[in-house]
Structure 1
């Protein structure tokens, strides 16, 4: 799997606000094929303190069960399912100060959830580079 943070900004949706986002995707590579397995993204409006998390997770998840977010195996938040489409299932939450600080200081971010069959699933993202990428946002 390949993991790295990327950052972007756009005011296309709202011309008077710059929407900034940084994300990391878990990508499975086999031979010449690559497939995104999961994505953790964080966004905020430039100059505003509120940060939102949006995770894109694979199909086959149990939508009645929330997604627990852990940093270094300590729970810091819960995501609420929003919708599913051809790209996967989307869950989001407002990131509070404790959660954000834990990610800045942590090593591993995990989305823990249930599959439709009741089995446990976990997707882990590296936090190396998180604080540096976040600091680049205006």
Structure 2
């Protein structure tokens, strides 16, 4: 985990130093980062957000191939739910769910990371990756995930 964290930090810095020259090797770097991340999805998520923000449309080839695998890793990193994970009327960690507050907080951190990445993909013009053939089948699940996030905010 420490090596992955340092490698992610190195790539963050390389983005500023190498700028567009990094785009050629970025798909392979991101694939390796996503394949190696486990419960520590935060570093890779922040890296993907930075790539979207920095390169915008040019980030699509690099982000498109790792978006779904990363979101799957996030779902796998979610702590087990005690019940339904919360709703707008009964949020996670609420007394009515019987869920441990630390598990609810951990789940919300991972969900927030997923929502944040999807927000970066859409707001930084990388949204074409959502309609690519390799990602199109999961579009309904992605939209459902975003709707759940919105319902938790209301």
Which interval holds the TM-score relative to the shorter structure? under 0.3
Structure label with greater radius of gyration: 2
**Is the strand fraction higher in 1 or 2?**
1
In the superposition, the TM-score normalised over structure 1's length comes to 0.21
In the superposition, the TM-score normalised over structure 2's length comes to 0.19
Greater relative contact order structure (CA < 8 Å, 6+ sep): 2
**Is the helix fraction higher in 1 or 2?**
2
